[in-house]
Amino acid sequence: MENPFVSTETETSVLTPEALGKEIFEGKGMCATCHKADVETSGPSIKDISKIYTDKKASISLFLQGEMDPIVDPSQYEIMKANLEITKAMTEAELQALETYMLSIK
Ligand code: HEC
């Protein structure tokens, strides 16, 4: 008989970091309410964030842990700052997945 626990485990590990990142971004992270792929809405577009972080070789994951000052739009940081309460509670793997997903949008 198939063990349901094992099969769930397999599915989770099959998800690429990019796919997991997208799932968190649009799901429990609720990031997509303010960040669209390539248009600026309440927050900068993912494309703009991705470009700046790639150019500056900065770490999105460190920013989301509250260990780095904002480099995209410091004047709007107060709005973003509230979300760090959510991301600070995430695991290293979840943060890396978010970073991989965001940097994949160019
Ligand atoms: C209520 C709207 C809102 C939500 C929700 C939101 N953001 Fe933001 N975010 C902003 C705004 C506004 C900025 C621009 C200010 C800034 O650069 O810090 C920003 C900036 C950023 C930056 C660039 C920071 C920098 O270096 O300046 C990253 C990375 C980011 N958001 C990721 C996320 C992720 C991941 C989530 C979901 C966990 C999220 N945001 C949810 C509004 C939001």
Which tens digits make up the pLDDT trace of 6-57? 555 555 567 899 999 999 999 999 999 999 999 999 999 999 999 999 999 9
* Cα–Cα distance measured from residue 32 to residue 28, given in angstroms and rounded to the nearest whole number: 10
Token pair 């989770």 is found at 12
* Cα–Cα distance measured from residue 4 to residue 77, given in angstroms and rounded to the nearest whole number: 44
Domain that holds residue 9: 4-103
**CB of 50 within 8 A of CB of 61?**
no
Residue 13 is predicted with a pLDDT of 61
Compute, in angstroms, the gap from residue 43 CA to the centroid of ligand 1.
6
Q: Residue 93: name the closest of 34, 5, 19 by CA.
A: 19
Give φ, ψ of 89 to 5 degrees.
Answer: -85, -5
Q: Write the CATH number for 20.
A: 1.10.760.10
Residue 14 is predicted with a pLDDT of 78
Domain count for the chain, please give it: 1
Of 25, 26, 33, 35, the residue with max ligand 1 atoms within 8 A of its CB, to mutate for a pocket test, comes to: 35
Cα pseudo-dihedral 18, 24, 30, 34, rounded to 10: -10
